[in-house]
Structure 1
Amino acid sequence: MPKSTDYVAKQPDAAGRILYDSAEDSVWHDLMMRQMPSVEERMATPYLEGLALLDLPSDRVAQCKEVSQTLGATTGWRVEPVPALIPFGRFFSLLADRCFPAASFIRRREHFDYIEEPDIFHEIFGHAPLLTDARFAAFSHAIGQAGMQAEKTDYVWLIRLYWFSIEFGLTRENGEIKGLGSGLASSIAELQWAISDKPELRPFDVIDILRMPYRIDILQPVYFLIEDLDDLFAAAQRNLLADVATARALGLHAARYPARRA
């Protein structure tokens, strides 16, 4: 995640609602209108079913409280607003508590096409749909539980499994590659890129994923294709800390991306 941000977290009022102004509501609306055609064509069924279940508003920024009502009734999860940047330890602890942390601000117009840190659009439009599905919710919960037991030095290894599945996973439906992860659903450029013939696609393998370095500020050069979603759900039953130890012993793969400029 980025080390700093110039965005300021918005605080909910006593009723749990966050006040967004008309300009912020307009950004949300325009983001949804831009994403929906691409999402409907290129995202996988579990995401689309979750999105339909949430029935997010298109004319204003969705509220964490209302999204939590739907999640609570389906999988027992909730969404709570947090600052843009939280440490891995807190992220894992919230997942372990069946709570998804949602950055409470929405991007400004100058960052409409790309924002490095997650905003409320990415969090709600991208992440919340899969949390309506008990299988995906259980996987995220397992990541959180593993993180709570992990040493801090293991955090960057463990988070890769979340990154290459819930954030940027791909799957196949009826012979077509479809987007699964939240980073694809909330980014029109990333979704188009991911299902093109340009990036490298690798089969879903937990150890391979844990060894794959990534950068958050570029289109991903590597994606993992989950042919059978049961393989992902089965990963929730693994000893993930033992998997991290195995990956550490084998070492990181060579980076598929250029180094950051100083």
Structure 2
Amino acid sequence: MAAAATAKLQEQFDAGLTTRPDFTIDQPLERYGAVDHAVWEQLYRRQMALLEGRACEAFIEGAQRIGLNVAHVPIFDAVSERLMAATGWRIVAVPGLVPERIFFEHLAHRRFPVTWWMRRPDQLDYLQEPDCFHDLFGHVPLLTDPVFADAIHAYGRAALAVDECALPLLARLYWYTVEFGLIRDTSGEASAPQGVKIYGAGIVSSKGESLYSVESAAPNRLAFDLERVLRTRYRIDTFQKTYFVIDSFAQLFDALGAGIAARLAHPAPLIAAAPYAAGDVLHSDTIYTRGTREGWLDDGDV
């Protein structure tokens, strides 16, 4: 999502790339080398093979629809042309994480910020902050789905109207849906582990979490409930302790738009309420899988 300036972002500024007030840049195609393209190809081939039967069909179809090239880092303008034709969205190149309000402005105008630089070969399995592969491969394919695309647009518009003190609640919602969300499998495929499939970008772009989120016995898998998610802390240093499962992208649209607009119009009660720990299971939860808690750390929830 967004954050304060990081060392990596400062490195991009220091490199002399012309950054506009909205944090966008022209994709510096000349800066991609053979190593960058090789890393893209390795990650793309690995994840597409891994996600077969694990990711929702809308993601797989979306990746094909926007024409992600296997052999090299995609050209953003070419991706934008296909995306615009599908749902009216386009992608814009950015040097890294951008401030919250600027991020929301982009979403509210159907622009998705995509980090231009690629991770190093020694960072294939873990990266502290999003790179081009996470942003483009992880997020953009689902923006070809009209309902999902409208949900992200609604989120951007609703977020702009929210008081700054409620930003942590918005971050929780984005984290547990757009980044680490699961969706119920309605295809009847016996091969779908736990009866769920992946749609969150943080999962589809990660080898380890693609397997862990749908196959491990350790995490909780709970039915999505908006207020529950707004009050639930999360993990940024390990795989998630809890995944929230939506029924459909229509449910997500309702939550990311009118849902948060209504609940955060007067956010004081939610802000004041004690948050739930990342691994909590409540009596009121609809439980698809109660986790074994194997490998969990006792502290570190955000």
Task: Give the TM-score taking structure 2 as reference length.
Answer: 0.80
Q: How does 1:148-187 map to 2 (within 5 A)?
A: 148-173=160-185, 174-175=187-188, 176-187=195-206
1:243 aligns with 2:245: no
**CA shift in 2, pair 1:237/1:120, >3 Å:** closer
Identity of aligned residues (%): 35
Stretch deviating more after TM superposition (144-153 or 242-251):
242-251
1:56 CA drift (Å): 0.6
Matched residue, 2:51: 39
Matched residue, 1:254: 277
Matched residue, 1:192: 211
1:213 aligns with 2:213: no
Structure exhibiting the larger radius of gyration computed from Cα positions: 2
**CA shift in 2, pair 1:63/1:254, >3 Å:** same
Partner AA of 2:105 in structure 1: S
Contact 1:142 1:236 in 2 (8 A): yes
Backbone CA RMSD of aligned residues: 2.3
Contact 1:5 1:84 in 2 (8 A): no
Partner AA of 1:33 in structure 2: R
Give, in whole Å, the separation in 1 of the partners of 2:88 and 2:28: 20
Contact 2:118 2:132 in 1 (8 A): yes
Partner AA of 1:129 in structure 2: P
Matched residue, 2:156: 144
Matched residue, 2:7: 5
Stretch deviating more after TM superposition (241-250 or 142-151):
241-250
Task: Give the TM-score taking structure 1 as reference length.
Answer: 0.91
Stretch deviating more after TM superposition (247-256 or 61-70):
247-256
Partner AA of 2:209 in structure 1: E
Unaligned 5+ segments in structure 2 are 19-24, 189-194, 280-296
How many residues of Structure 1 are paired with residues of Structure 2 in the alignment?
Answer: 261
Quick one: which of 91, 94, 119 aligns to 1:79?
91
1:242 CA drift (Å): 3.3
